[in-house]
Chains A and B, each alone.
Chain A
Amino acid sequence: MMGSETEGFEEGRLYASKEEMENLVIDDPLNDTKSSYSNYRSAMSSSAISETHHPLSPSILVTPAESDPLLSPPPYRDIRNPSGQRESSYIEPPAYADVIFSPFDGDHFGDVNGVESPSRNSDNSGRFSRSLGSSSSSSLASSSDYIKITVSNPQKEQEASNSIVPGGGTYVTYLITTRTNVPEFGGPEFSVRRRFRDVVTLSDRLAESYRGLFIPPRPDKSVVESQVMHKQEFVEQRRVALEKYLRRLAAHPVIKRSDELRVFLQVQGKLPLPTTTDVASRMLDGAVNLPRQLLGESSSVVAPHEVVQPAKGGRDLLRLFKELKQSMANDWGGSRPPVVEEDKEFLEKKERMNELEQQLTNASQQAESLVKAQQEMGETMGELGLAFIKLTKFENDEVVFDSQKVRANEIKGFATAAVKASRFYRELNAQTVKHLDTLHDHLGLMLAVHSAFSDRSSALLTVQTLLSELSSLQSRAEKLEAASSKIFGADKSRIRKTEELKETIRVTEDAKNVAVREYERIKENNRTELERLDRERKADLLNMMKGFVLNQVGYNEKIANVWTKVVEETSGYAKESS
C-alpha cells in the first residue's frame, strides 16, 4: 500500500513557452517545477519537490525586487543525506512558519541538522512514531537511541548462471547504510547491498515472527509499473519507497530490535533468512506430505511447532481442510467451541478501526483535492501575472501617451505582486503536501492493522480446530473404553488402538496448549499495538494540524503583505469605499 511513491515532478516551464519568456527580456525565466498532483502519492514524496527561485528580472522592473529572503531562499542540502546523489538536487523551500514563528513545542520545529527531526522533513520516515523522537509528553523513553537508515546507489547486477531464464537475468541492488548507537549492532555505521527480493523475504519473516503486531507494509512489487516507467524512474521510485519502509521498521519499538532486521541490515553477502517458499517447492512439499496427511490418520496430528504458524497451502492441506470445516461450523453456529472470540472490547475496537480507516480514506482524498486546488490557484495567479508582464512591456514599447506610461507602471506593480503571490501559494502548497501526508501514512498503516487482526483470527481458528478435534478424540476414547469394558478379555488390537488414541490425545493436547499460548500472545500484541497506534496517531494528527495551520497563517500573511503594498500604491484610484 505504501508502494509507488514517485520522485514525480515534471521539469517544466511554469507559465509559457521558452520563446515567450525570452521575448520578455527576462534573463532568468521563472523556473519552477510543477509537482504532478495528478498522482497524489508523487506529491507525497516531498523530497522530490524542488523549487528554484529567481527574483523578477530587474530589466523589466523599474525598481528591482526587494531583497526578500523568501523570494530567493538560500538552497540548503538536506544535511542528513550527504550521500544521496538525487538528493543534491533537492532544495527545501523554507517553511515560512519555521522562520517566523517561534515553535509551540520546541521539538516540533526543531533541528534540521543531523538529529532525526520528527516533522517538516524531506522524508516521511518515522511518521508513525513521530512522537517517539519528539520530546513531547507522549513520547516513550526510547528517544535516546536511534537507527538511521539510508538507501542509495542502485546498481545493476547479473543473476547467477543457473537461472531458469536463459541468458541470465539482471537485477538491481541497493546500498543500505545504517548509522546507529544501538549496541546490539556492534558498530556505529555499516552497509550492505540488498535486492528487492531480500526485502520481500524480510517482510515475510517479520510477518511470521511478529504476528499480531502492526508491521509497516512493504513496498509493492508492482511489476506492471516497472514495464511502464523508465527503468531509471522506477528504480528511483523504489529506492525512495525502500528507504521509507526500512525507516519505518526501525521506528517500530519491537521490530527495531528484531533479529530479522538486524541480520538484514548488517550481514554481508547473501541474506541468511529462509526465503519465501516459491510455488515449485511448495508443490513438492505438499506432494510428499499428501499421502501421509490424507491416509495416515495417526499422523494427521499437527505438530506443536507448526501450530504457531497459520495453515499454508500445499503443505498443510489437511490442516487447512480441518480449519475450514471449523470456521464453517463457527459461522453456522453449530458446535459451540469453548473459546469464543470474546472480547467485546476487541470487536468494538475492530469496528472503530474500520470506521477510522473509512474516515482516513475520505480525509486523504479531500486533502488531495485541496492540494490540487491550491496548486492550481498558484499557477493561475502566476499566469495572470505573466500576461500582465507582457502587457506592460508592450505598452512601454509602443508608448505614445503619458497616460500609457502611468498605466504601464501600475500594470507592472500588479504583475509583480501576482507573481510573488503565486510563488507563495506554491511554497505553501509544498508544505501543505508534507503535512497532509500524515493522513496518507496512517491510512497505509491500516493495512498493517488488518494483517495483525487476521493473525489473531487465524490463531483463534487454529485453537478452535484443535479444541474440537480434541473433543472428538476424547469422545472416541470414551466409546472405545465403554466398548472394551463390555467384552471380557480385551484383545490385543483393541488395547493397541486405545494406547494409540491416548497418545494422539496427548499430542493434540500439547498442540492445543501451544496454540492457546500463541493466541494469547497475539492478542496481547494486538492490544499493545492498538494502544501505541492510537497514541502515535493522535500525536501525529495533532502535529499535522498544527503544521498545516501554521503554514496557512504564515504564507497568507505574506500574501496579504504583497497585496497591501499594491493597495497603497494604487490608493489614488480609490474613489468610494466598497
Chain B
Amino acid sequence: MITTLMEQQRSVTASSQSPRSPSSQPYLSVSVTDPVKLGNGVQAYVSYRVITRTNLPEYQGPEKIVIRRYSDFIWLRDRLFEKYKGIFIPPLPEKSAVEKFRFSAEFIEMRRQALDIFVNRVASHHELQQSEDLRTFLQADEETMERLRSQETGIFKKKPSDFMQIFKDVQSKVSDVVLGKEKPVEESNPEYEKLKHYIFELENHLAEAQKHAYRLVKRHRELGQSLSDFGKAVKLLGACEGNSLGMAFSELGAKAETLSVKLQKEAHQILMNFEEPLKDYVRAVQSIKATIAERANAFRRHCELAETIKLKEINLNKLSLIRSDRVGEAEMEYNELKAESDEATQTFETIVRLMNEEIVCFQEQKTLDMGTAFHQFAKGQARLANGIADAWRSLLPKLESCSSS
C-alpha cells in the first residue's frame, strides 16, 4: 500500500489502538476504498466504500461502512465551507477530467487516494471532526445521502462556477489593491495583505512546479517506451549478426526491456507520491483563497452593518427628540439591527482568529508534506538509478568475453 502523507497524519492524530479497547483514546479513522464503476453510458459513475472506525460516542458503533460517490464528497465539503468559515476546508480532487480518462484506472486511483486524504483531514481537524454533516456523511444510508445531495441544488448548492466567481472577485480585488486601483471596502491590515499576496503568488509557483512534475511522469513513460523499442530493435539486429555478438545484442536488448518496466513503475510512483501531493498543495492554496473570499464578505457585511447602525443611531436620537411615540418601534428595529451587526462582527472576528490559527497549522503541515514528498521522490529516483546501473553493469562481463573471443 502506498504510504501517503495522509496516512502519516492519520496515525498522528488518530490513535493506533484497536477498537476493541473501549477505554482507549478517542479516535476516528476513515478509509475510502474499493472503487466500483456503476451505471451505464452518460449516467455512469464510480462509487466508493467508506469505512469508518471509531470509538466516539456520537457514532453508531465501532465500524460502519457506507457507499458514497464523488458528489457526496462535494456535498460534505460545501456544507463544511458554509458552516466553518475561517477554517481552511481540506480540498477535493477536481471534477472530472477529459471524458476519456474519467474511468481510467489511474484517474480513479488518484481520485480515491485524494478522497481518502480529504475525509481523514476532516476527521482529524479538531473543529471539523465535530461536524454533524460529517457524521451524516459517514453514517447515513444511501437513500438519505441521495436526498440530501439533491436538496443542495435548491438551497446551498454552490456550483463550481460560483467558487470560480468568488475566486475571481477576490483575485481582482487583491490585484486591484496591489495595482493601486480604487479601494473597495477592505481591511487595512498589512499583515493580512502580506498573507493574501503570499497565497496568490504561492499558487502560481506551485502550479508551475506541479506542471513540470506531471511532465516528468510522462518523460519517464516515454523513456521507458523508447528503451523497450530500442531493446527490441537491438535484439533483431543481434539475430541478424549471429554468434557471440548476436548473443551480446540479445542480452542488451533484454536488459533494455527490463529497465523499461522499471521506468514505467517509477513513473507511476512519481505520479502518486509526488505529483499528486503537489496538486494537493495547489488545491489547498485554492481552498485558502475561498476562505479569504469569505473573510472579505464577512468584513464587508460587518462594515455595512456598522455603517447602518451608526445611521440608525442618529435617526433614533433624532426621533427621540421629535416623535417620542415612534421611539419604541424604532428602538426595537435598532436593537435587532444591533444584534445582527454584533453577529456580523463576531463572525468576522472569528474568521480572523481561526485563520490565524489555521495558517500556522497549514505552514507546518505543508513543510511536513513536502518533506515527505521529496523523500519519496528521492528514494524512488535513487532506486531507479541504482537499478539501471546494476542492470547494465551485469552485462559488462559478457561483453568483455565477447571481444576476447
Q: Identify the A interface with B (CB < 8 A).
A: 104-105, 136-137, 352, 355-356, 359-360, 362-363, 365-367, 369-370, 372-374, 376-377, 380-381, 383-384, 387-388, 390-391, 394, 398, 400-401, 403-404, 406-407, 410-411, 413-414, 417, 421, 538-539, 541-542, 545-546, 549-550, 552-554, 556-557, 559-560, 563-564, 566-567, 570-578
Contacts and interface: CB of A to CB of B under 8 A. Distances in A.
A359 B8 contact: no
A541 B378 contact: no
Nearest to B379: A567
B376 A578 contact: yes
B215 A380 contact: yes
Interface string B232-263: 11101101110001001100100000000000
B226 A538 contact: no
A403 B222 contact: no
A403 B363 CA distance: 6
Given A362-B233, A380-B215, A541-B237, 7 more contacts: A366-B230, A369-B229, A380-B219, A542-B399, A567-B375, A575-B3, A575-B8
A380 B218 CA distance: 10
B328 interface: no
Contact of B222 (A373, A417, A566): A373
Q: How large is the interface on B (under 10, 10 to 19, 20 to 34, 35 or more residues)?
A: 35 or more
B376 A401 contact: no
B11 to A, nearest CB: 7
A554 B396 CA distance: 12
A403 B367 CA distance: 6
B321 to A, nearest CB: 52
Contacts of A557: 385-386, 389
Contacts of B381: 421, 559-560, 563
13 contacts: A104-B396, A365-B233, A377-B220, A383-B212, A383-B215, A414-B374, A421-B381, A542-B248, A542-B402, A563-B379, A564-B378, A567-B378, A578-B379
Nearest to A551: B392
- Main secondary structure on chain A at its contact with chain B? helix
Nearest to B238: A359
B226 A105 contact: no
A563 B247 CA distance: 34
Contacts of B239: 359
Interface centre among B232, B239, B249, B374 (most CB of A within 10 A): B374
Contact of B236 (A362, A376, A421, A571): A362
Contacts of B202: 394
A538 B405 CA distance: 12
Nearest to A365: B233
B213 A384 contact: yes
B370 A564 contact: no
A372 B226 contact: yes
B194 interface: yes
B370 A411 contact: yes
Contacts of A576: 3, 7-8
Contacts of A410: 367, 370-371, 374
B227 A370 contact: yes
A373 B226 contact: yes
A563 B377 CA distance: 9
